[in-house]
Amino acid sequence: QSALTQPASVSGSPGQSITISCTGTSDDVGGYNYVSWYQQHPGKAPKLMIYDVSNRPSGVSNRFSGSKSGNTASLTISGLQAEDEADYYCKSYTSTSTYVFGIGTKVTVL
Amino acid sequence: QVQLVESGGGVVQPGTSLRLSCAASGFSFSNYAMHWVRQAPGKGLEWVAVISYDGSHKYYADSVKGRFTISRDNSKNTLYLQMNSLRPEDTALYYCARKPPTTTGIDSWGQGTLVTVSS
C-alpha cells in the first residue's frame, strides 16, 4: 500500500491550464477505473472533484477534468482561478479491496 | 443535508485505546459504505478503513490492521473506529466519510476529530 506518486507542486497563471499526474501500478490505478480526485483548502475537509477517473459530481466546475492512461491518472484544471489554489489528492481502489491516496500536490496560482 | 459529526478524539498515551464515533444524518445511512481517513498534522491524506453498508465487509490499511476495528450501528446511524495499541504515528485528524453505492468516490466528509498520541 505505497502512496500514489504525485508532483509536490504545480503552478500556473490565471487563465492557464495545469495538469496533475497520479502514478500507481497495475494493482491500483492501472487495474481499475476507480480513481478519484479531491481538493483541500487549508483547515477544511477535502472535497470530491472527480470520481471514477473522469466523472464530475454535480456542482463541480467543468474546468476540472480527469483522465487515465495505463498506470497514470491525471487531473486537468483549465482556466485557472485564484480559488483553485489548494492541495489536490488522487485516490485509487486497489486489488486487495483497499484504497490508497496520492501524496498530494500543492497548486499555486501565480 | 448530509451531516457527519465525529467525536471521541483526545490526547492519549502510547499503547492505550480510544474509540471514535461518527454520527450521520440527512441521508439513509444504512445504504452507504463508510470510510475513515486520517491526516497527520501538516501531512497528506491517508486512507484507514472502509466498511460495507451492512457491516459484512471490512478492509484496513496495513498500517492499522490488527490494531484498529471499524464497525457500524445502522439502528443508531453511527460509525465507529476502535483504536488499540496506539502509537505516536497514529496522531492525526480522523475524518469520517461517505461512499455512494455506485461509485468509489467519497462524496461527503465530516470535519474530523483530532487524536494525539503522546507520552
The pLDDT tens digits of the residues spanning B61-119 come to: 999 999 999 999 999 999 999 999 999 999 999 999 999 988 889 999 999 999 999 99
Q: Render pLDDT for A48-97 as a digit per residue (tens, 0 to 9).
A: 999 999 999 999 999 999 999 999 999 999 999 999 999 999 999 999 99
Q: Average the pLDDT over A5-13 and give the result.
A: 97
Query: What pLDDT score was predicted for residue A13?
Result: 97
Decide if A99 and B63 are in contact by the 8 Å CB cutoff. Answer: no
Mean pLDDT across chain B: 97
Q: Strand B33-39 relative to strand B92-99: parallel, antiparallel, unpaired? A: antiparallel
Decide if B103 and A51 are in contact by the 8 Å CB cutoff. Answer: yes
Burial B19-32 (b: 16+ CB within 10 A, else e): ebbbbbeebebeeb
Per-residue pLDDT for A1 more than 90?
Answer: no
Query: What pLDDT score was predicted for residue B92?
Result: 98
Mutation choice for A interface testing from B64, B104, B113, B114 by most A CBs within 10 A: B104
Strands annotated E in chain B: 3-7, 10-12, 18-25, 33-39, 45-51, 58-60, 68-73, 78-83, 92-99, 108-109, 113-117
Query: What pLDDT score was predicted for residue B103?
Result: 87
CA distances to A4, A99, B11, B43, B60 from A108, in Å: 21, 27, 34, 17, 33
Decide if B45 and A40 are in contact by the 8 Å CB cutoff. Answer: yes
Q: Strand B108-109 relative to strand B78-83: parallel, antiparallel, unpaired? A: unpaired
Q: Strand A86-93 relative to strand A35-40: parallel, antiparallel, unpaired? A: antiparallel
Q: Average the pLDDT over A24-41 and give the result.
A: 97
Query: What pLDDT score was predicted for residue B104?
Result: 87
Q: Average the pLDDT over B26-36 and give the result.
A: 97
Q: Strand B78-83 relative to strand B68-73: parallel, antiparallel, unpaired? A: antiparallel
Query: What pLDDT score was predicted for residue B116?
Result: 98
- Rounded to a whole number of angstroms, the distance from the CA of A80 to the nearest CA of chain B is 23
Cβ–Cβ under 8 Å, residues A29 and A73: yes
Q: How is residue B60 written as a grid cell?
A: 484496513
Beta bridge mates, A10: A107
Q: Which burial class, exposed, middle or buried, applies to B69 when counting CB atoms under 10 A from its CB (0-12, 13-18, 19+)?
A: middle
CB contacts < 8 A, A to B, total 67
Decide if A99 and B104 are in contact by the 8 Å CB cutoff. Answer: yes
**Nearest partner of B87 among B6, B15, B3, judged by Cα:** B15
